[in-house]
Amino acid sequence: MWRPDRTVTGPAQVEFRDIDALNRLFSDAFTDRYRKDGLAGVRVPYLNNVIWKYAVADAGAGAMVWRDSRGELIAFNIVHRSGSEGWMGPLAVRPDRQGQGLGQRIVLAGVAWLQSEGAQTIGLETMPRTIENIGFYSRLGFVPAPLTITLQRDRPRADSAAGVRLSSLAADERSAVLQQCRQLAGRIGGGVDFTREIELTQEMHLGDVTLLHEAGGALRAFALWHTAPLAQGQGVADLRILKLAAPDTASALAAVFAVEREAAAMSLPHCSVRCQSRFTDFYAALVAEHYRVQWTDLRLTLAKYPEPAATGVLLSNWEI
């Protein structure tokens, strides 16, 4: 009698040769999720391969896959650590292997890895309307945190004060500035460190970092942004701010304006910011500057591993 394959092997570390299989599983699983949410006509596109390479390289040993008896991917969890901050995403189980406890297994594996790495924050993001996901993560010990709200401004301004691109600096200057970025983010966010994301962004030519300095030369704020298309086969259409560190709302807004100038110089029609709603003053300032809400994600953190109180504005996307 035929019996379904319930073999599970893993976790194993993702290799770049797994990206095509990751893309198929990602598209199938999230398309199925939308169907279950009543959006039967939505088909989630494949991600740009370079975005996958960035995510896998950023995660390192935290990029995990599970396979069936034939060696085919049945689940994955791409787990990231940025200094004290740890988060999971994307993660998915192949639709035909759901309901077998595999989702719990891959999440707990990600939690265990982050704990072993010394992460003080452990979290993830999911769609707020997906009550099944929220209930699932809640049963594993995650509790709701503020939303991450994607805001977008059309026709970015070209007349803002300019910042300095990290890529424009000499190699020895970049090393010193990276240390300053690490210190600023760590001071604001309790040990958060975006160095790996910054270095990979530069190496893979995904975008850049815009730097703002005080009159005396000290680093005032920085913003890491990408222009590489998210979906496979798409052209460059927008600039996305993924990480930002600033000691106050005014500095954070000045950094956004400087990035808008970059978008305008590239003739990009849109500039977007993934803003955590706990930064209420900054969020209100973006809305006042004609940024429009595009999307929301619910942030969840593991109980006893919350985000620390920030002493300024620290934006950190928990998606790729």
Residue 146: asked if its preceding bond is cis (omega within 30°), the reply is no
pLDDT at 286 over 60: yes
**pLDDT score at 41:** 80
More confident residue, 226 or 43: 226
CA-nearest of 199, 242, 191 to 58 is: 199
Q: Read off the pLDDT of each residue in 53-74 and give the average, rounded to a whole number.
A: 97
**Entry pTM:** 0.94
Per-residue pLDDT at 39: 75
* pLDDT at 2 (0 to 100): 52
Extended beta strands in the chain, E state: 9-13, 63-67, 73-82, 85-93, 121-126, 142-154, 164-165, 207-213, 219-226, 238-246, 270-276, 292-302, 313-316
Q: What's the confidence (pLDDT) of residue 287?
A: 98
**pLDDT score recorded for residue 34:** 83
Q: Evaluate if residue 1 carries a pLDDT over 70.
A: no
Mean pLDDT of the chain: 95
Q: Decide if pLDDT at 40 tops 80.
A: no
The predicted pLDDT at position 129 comes to 85
Can you give the pLDDT at residue 6? 80
pLDDT higher than 80, residue 5: no
